[in-house]
Amino acid sequence: MSDLQQEASDPKYSVWVSASAGTGKTKVLTDRFLRLLIKGVEPANILCLTFTNAAAVEMQARINSKLKYLSLCNAEKLEEELFLMLGNKPLQPELENAKTLYDKILNSNEPLNIYTIHAFCQKILKTCPLEAGITPEFKILEETKLQDIFLNIRNEIYLSDEHNDLMKILLNRFHEITLQDIFSEIIEQKIKFKKLFTHKTIPGEIQNKRLALGELNNIYDKVKNLFVKYDLEIEPKEFFFTKDGKKRKSLLSKELIRKYPKLLLELEKITSEIYHLDELRRIEELEYHTNLLTKLAYIILKKYDSYKEENNLLDYDDLIYYTEKLLNNKATHEWLLHKLESKINHILVDEAQDTTPTQWNIITTLITEFNAMDKPNNSIFIVGDDKQSIFSFQGADLRNFSLVNEQLKANLTKANKKFKNITLEYSYRSCTEILQFTHYVLQNIKSDYPNLFFPDNPLISSFRTHQGTVTVWPLVTSKKQEELFWALPEDYKNSKSAADLLIEQIVNFIKEKIESKEILPSICAMKSGYTKINLENSKEFVNQGAECILNVQCPSHSDYKNDSANFSNSSRISEKDFMILVRKRDEFSNNLIKELSKAKLKIEISDRINLKDHLSIMDLMSVAKFVLLPDDDLNLACLLKSPIIGINEQQLYELLINKKDQSLWDTLSLYLDIYEKLNSFIEIYKTSTAENFFTIVVNSLNLRELLNVHNGDDSDDMINELLTLSSNYANDIDNSLQGFVAWFENNNIYIKRNMEHSDKIRVMTVHGSKGLEAPIVILCDSTSLPVSSNKFIWNDNGEMFFSANAADTPQFLQELKEAEKLKDLQEYIRLLYVAMTRAKDHLIICGFSNKATTSENSWYKIAKQTFDKFFN
C-alpha cells in the first residue's frame, strides 16, 4: 500500500479521493471500511454506496475475505498485517477486533451496509413508506416488463377517444417511427418529466397562433414584388435562409450587386425585420410543439403511475424520486435524518463521477447533517475520477463532481473538521508506456481542443516494472477498384469492405499471438531474471509509415526456451488475455464475433447483451417466424443463410432469380434436402406450443451443437436463456408461439454476466469494460463520432424544449443544442481514456474508414496525432 492510499483510508479524516484508472481505488475503499471496523465502529454505523450491484458484491467479498484471513493469522502475522494496513503498531483492542470480526459479521442477522444508491433508497422507503406516500408492501417493477407496459399504454392512447385530437395532430406532424422514438425518450427521461410537472401547468387545448408567420408572409410578398421589379425569380424564404434554417452569409452575389446596386439598399431596409419576425415565428413553433409533447408525456406518465399504483409497484427511478422527496419534505426531514443518524456515522461513496444530480441531492442531504460540530467522530469518504465520467445517458452530470467537492470542503472546514483532497499517483494495472501515451493523448487534446477535455490530467506512475507496447495500426480503407466502363460482378462480389479487412487483420493478429506462445511482459516481470527494466534505454518510438509504435519488447521465446520450467502453459498468451473494445454494438461487432468464431477462437460476448441480438437467438427466431409465416421471403432468406441451413450468397442469389413470381418457400420444393429440413420445422410446430417448440427444435434436430460451433462459446448459455424465457412466457402469459414471438420482438431482454475472470476473448463495449482489465486490449471502433438522437432538450432549470426541425429552431435553442453536442464530445474523449486504461501490457488502436482519412475528433485521429506530435 502506498503512503497516499494509507492516508486516504485513514478514518480520522474526511477525504475526497481522485483515483485515476488502475490506481487501486477499490482497495482504498475496502481498507477504509476495514479500518473503521478494526477501530471498533459497529458495522451498522457504516454506509457504503456503490454504483453497481457487481461493485457492492465485490466489496462485500473483499471485506469478508480479508477478515477471514485476519481471523486465521497467528499473533505475529496479525500484528504485521495490521501494521501494514494502519501505518502504525496496532493497539490491543484493534488486534482483538481483527481476530473476532469475521465470526461476528458471519453470525450477524444484518449484512454489511454496502448498497447501490437504489438499494439504499429502497431500504429507506421500506422503513417509512407512509411518510413517503407509498404503500408498505410495494414491489419493484421488473425491467423486462417495462416495454410491455408502455406498449399497452401507447396502444391505449392511440385508440382512446379522449386523446383522439392530440394523436391526430401528432400523427399528422410526425412519422410513426419518429413518434415511437418520442414515446421511448419520454419513458427514458420520466424522472425529469415528473419534476417538470411539479412546477409547470399542463396545457389544455393547444393552439398554434402563428401570429409572426402571418406578418412574415406579408413581408415576403413585398420581397416578391421587389424581385419582380428587378426581373428575378427567387423564392423569398430560400433567399434569406438555407434549407436547415440558417441565415445566408451573403444575400446577393457580386454580379447581382453590380447589376442591381439599388436592390441591396432596398433589401437592407427589411432584412433585420425579416430575421426578427422569423425568430418570433420559430419561438411560436417551439412553444406549440413543446406544449404538444409536454401534454403527451403527462398522459403517458399518468397512465404509467396509475398502473404502478394499481399493482403496488415502484420502478428504480421511483426509488430515487420518493427518497429525495421524503428528505426534502420539512415535515419528515428532521425525523428521518434523526432515525438514520442514530445508525449511520460514516459514509463512503464509490464512483462519485457517475452519480446523478438527484442522487447527489440525497447524499449531500445526509452528509450535511453528519457534518455538524457536535458529531466529531463522523466521517465522509468519496472516491471518483472525473476522467471516467461516461454515464450521462443514465443521468450523470460531471458538473456536480467539482461542485459537491467544493461544498463538502466548505462545510467541513466551517465545522472545524479535518478534510483532505488526495490524488492517487500510482497505477497498479498499466505499464509505463501505456500510462505515458494516455497522458500525452489527453495533454494533446487539452492543448489543441481545450473545450473537449477539462479534468486534471496528472501523469500517473506505474507500480509495475514490466515493459509494454502501444501500437496504432494503419487506418484500414477499402481497396480502390480500377475504374472501368462496365461493372465486373465477380470482382464486386469478391471485394472486401474496409470493416471486413480490419476484422481479418484483428483475427489474424490474435491467432498469430496465441500461436507464438509468447510470455506476457507482466508475467516476465514476475519471474526474477527475466525482467529488462531499464525503461529509459529500452524505449523505442517508431513511426513506420502510417503505423505508430511506442514499443518495448518483452524477452522473446528464445530468452527462456532453455528454461521453460519457469513458465507454465497458462503463462503463455491465450484467448483470456485479449479484450476487444467497441464503442457500440452494431454490424461491425457482430461480424467480428462471427469471424472470431469461424477461426475457432473462444469468445465471450459483452457483459450485457440483448438476447435478441445474439446470433444463435436470431437464427432460432428465424425458424419460429418461418413456421408461422413460410411465405415471408425476407425472413426465409435470413434462415437459409444461417448455419441451420447454410447456403451461401451465390446460392441464395440463384434461388431469388429462379423464384420469379413464386414465394421463396414454393421455389424450395425443387431443392429436396432444404425443403425437407424446413418442412420438419413446420411439422414440429403443428404438435407443439410456445413452451416446448424451441426445446424440441434445438435438442431433437441437434441444432444446439451446430449453433454453438458457429456463433461463439456463449451460444449454449443464450439458447438456455431462450428456452427458459419461452417456458416462463407460456406459463405466465400465453402458450401460443405467435404470441411469444410478438412479445419477444417487442421487448429487450438483457443478459448480464461477470466477465472479470473470463478465460475467453472478451468482446465488449467500452462502457461495459469499466472496472475490468486485460493484458492485451484492441480498441477497434475508433473512427465514428457520437451522434445525439435526443428529441428533447433540457436547460439547467429543468425546462424542456422540443423543436420539430432545424428550420424551426430559435437561436437560443440552437445554442443549447450546440452545448449538448460539446458535452457529447467531451464524454466521447473520456470514453477514450477509459478504453485505453483497460490495458496492462499491450494497447492496440485500430480503425477503418470508407474514405482515405477519418473525422477530425475521432479516437483514431487523436491517437495518430499524438504519435506525430510527441514521438516523431
DSSP for 74-122, written as a single string: -HHHHHHHHHHHHSSPPPHHHHHHHHHHHHHHHT-SSPP-EEEHHHHHH
Q: Where are the domains of the chain?
A: 3-69+105-133+319-424, 142-311, 432-603+759-870, 609-748
Distance of alpha carbon 325 from its chain centroid, rounded? 28
More confident residue, 549 or 375: 375
Confidence of residue 658 (pLDDT cuts 50, 70, 90): confident
In the prediction, which pLDDT does 534 show? 30
For residue 86, pLDDT over 70 is answered with yes
Segment 788-799 shows an average pLDDT of 88
Partners of 49 in the beta sheet?
A: 115, 349
Distance of alpha carbon 420 from its chain centroid, rounded? 32
Quote the CA–CA distance of 607 and 267 in Å, as a whole number. 61
Confidence of residue 148 (pLDDT cuts 50, 70, 90): confident
Quote the CA–CA distance of 63 and 205 in Å, as a whole number. 60
Distance of alpha carbon 528 from its chain centroid, rounded? 41
Using DSSP, state whether 701 is helix, strand or coil. coil
Query: Is residue 793 classed exposed, middle or buried when 0-12, 13-18 and 19+ CB atoms within 10 A define those classes?
Result: buried
Confidence of residue 528 (pLDDT cuts 50, 70, 90): very low
Which among 616, 612, 620, 625 is positioned nearest to 741, based on CA atoms?
A: 625
DSSP for 707-758, written as a single string: HHHHH-TTHHHHHHHHHHHHHHHHHHT---HHHHHHHHHT---EEE---TT-
Segment 489-499 shows an average pLDDT of 64
Quote the CA–CA distance of 781 and 796 in Å, as a whole number. 33
Lowest mean pLDDT among 231-245, 316-330, 431-445, 824-838: 231-245
In the prediction, which pLDDT does 549 show? 47
For residue 224, pLDDT over 60 is answered with yes
Which among 765, 745, 769, 746 is positioned nearest to 756, based on CA atoms?
A: 769
Contact 390, 398 (CB under 8 A): no
Quote the CA–CA distance of 384 and 389 in Å, as a whole number. 9
Query: Is residue 555 classed exposed, middle or buried when 0-12, 13-18 and 19+ CB atoms within 10 A define those classes?
Result: middle
Cβ atoms < 10 Å from Cβ of 173: 14
Lowest mean pLDDT among 498-512, 595-609, 732-746, 789-803: 595-609
Contact 713, 604 (CB under 8 A): yes
Contact 690, 734 (CB under 8 A): yes
Confidence of residue 176 (pLDDT cuts 50, 70, 90): confident
In the prediction, which pLDDT does 525 show? 60
For residue 187, pLDDT over 60 is answered with yes
Torsion, Cα of 580, 584, 587, 589 (10° steps): 10
Q: Residues 6 or more apart from 522 whose CB is under 8 A from it?
A: 431, 464, 466, 468, 775, 840, 841
For residue 871, pLDDT over 50 is answered with yes
Partners of 115 in the beta sheet?
A: 49
Quote the CA–CA distance of 674 and 122 in Å, as a whole number. 55
Binding residues for ATP: 19-26
Cell numbers describing residue 150: 408502455
In the prediction, which pLDDT does 568 show? 60
Q: Residues 6 or more apart from 721 whose CB is under 8 A from it?
A: 611, 749, 751
Q: Residues 6 or more apart from 734 whose CB is under 8 A from it?
A: 690, 740, 743
Using DSSP, state whether 794 is helix, strand or coil. strand
In percent, how much of the chain has pLDDT > 90?
Answer: 42
Does the pTM exceed 0.75?
yes
> Which CA distances in Å does 805 have to 245, 248, 285, 288, 315?
9, 18, 10, 13, 33
> Do the first three CATH levels of 3-69+105-133+319-424 and 432-603+759-870 match, i.e. the same topology?
yes
DSSP for 3-32, written as a single string: HHHHHHT-TTSEEEEE--TTS-HHHHHHHH
Quote the CA–CA distance of 443 and 429 in Å, as a whole number. 21
The dihedral of CA 131, 133, 139, 145: what is its sign?
A: negative
- Fold classification of 3-69+105-133+319-424 (topology level): Rossmann fold (3.40.50)
In the prediction, which pLDDT does 649 show? 79
CATH number 1.10.486.10 is the correct assignment for the domain at 609-748: yes
Lowest mean pLDDT among 101-105, 392-396, 537-541: 537-541
In the prediction, which pLDDT does 533 show? 29
Segment 739-748 shows an average pLDDT of 85
For residue 488, pLDDT over 70 is answered with no
Quote the CA–CA distance of 819 and 452 in Å, as a whole number. 11
In the prediction, which pLDDT does 555 show? 38
For residue 538, pLDDT over 70 is answered with no
Contact 533, 465 (CB under 8 A): yes
In the prediction, which pLDDT does 813 show? 94
Q: Using alpha carbons only, how large is the chain's radius of gyration in Å?
A: 32
For residue 564, pLDDT over 50 is answered with no
For residue 545, pLDDT over 50 is answered with no
Quote the CA–CA distance of 23 and 756 in Å, as a whole number. 17
Cell numbers describing residue 762: 472478451
Contact 583, 766 (CB under 8 A): yes
Q: Residues 6 or more apart from 530 whose CB is under 8 A from it?
A: 519, 524, 555, 559, 560, 566
Only one residue has cell 419513458, namely 187
For residue 744, pLDDT over 60 is answered with yes
CATH number 1.10.8 is the correct assignment for the domain at 432-603+759-870: no
Q: Residues 6 or more apart from 231 whose CB is under 8 A from it?
A: none
In the prediction, which pLDDT does 550 show? 47
Only one residue has cell 401528432, namely 170
Only one residue has cell 411560436, namely 284
SS (H, E, C) 526-547: HCCCCCCCCHHHHCEEEEECCE
Binding residues: 19-26
DSSP for 806-848, written as a single string: GGG--HHHHHHHHHHHHHHHHHHHHHHHHHHTTEEEEEEE--E
> Which CA distances in Å does 626 have to 551, 621, 623, 643, 685?
53, 8, 5, 15, 10
More confident residue, 554 or 499: 499
Lowest mean pLDDT among 243-257, 418-432, 444-458, 726-740: 243-257
Terminal Cα distance for the chain, rounded: 37
Segment 354-381 shows an average pLDDT of 80
Cell numbers describing residue 237: 424564404
Contact 418, 843 (CB under 8 A): no
Cβ atoms < 10 Å from Cβ of 740: 26
Q: What is the mean pLDDT of the chain?
A: 84
Confidence of residue 607 (pLDDT cuts 50, 70, 90): low
Q: Residues 6 or more apart from 185 whose CB is under 8 A from it?
A: 790, 791, 792
Confidence of residue 548 (pLDDT cuts 50, 70, 90): very low
For residue 420, pLDDT over 60 is answered with yes
Contact 252, 264 (CB under 8 A): yes
For residue 554, pLDDT over 60 is answered with no
Segment 663-671 shows an average pLDDT of 85
For residue 606, pLDDT over 70 is answered with no
Strands (E), 282-394: 313-314, 346-349, 379-384
Only one residue has cell 407496459, namely 149
Contact 44, 85 (CB under 8 A): no
Quote the CA–CA distance of 254 and 185 in Å, as a whole number. 47
Contact 766, 837 (CB under 8 A): no
φ and ψ at 211, to 5 degrees?
-70, -45
More confident residue, 526 or 627: 627
For residue 421, pLDDT over 90 is answered with yes
The amino acid at 498: A
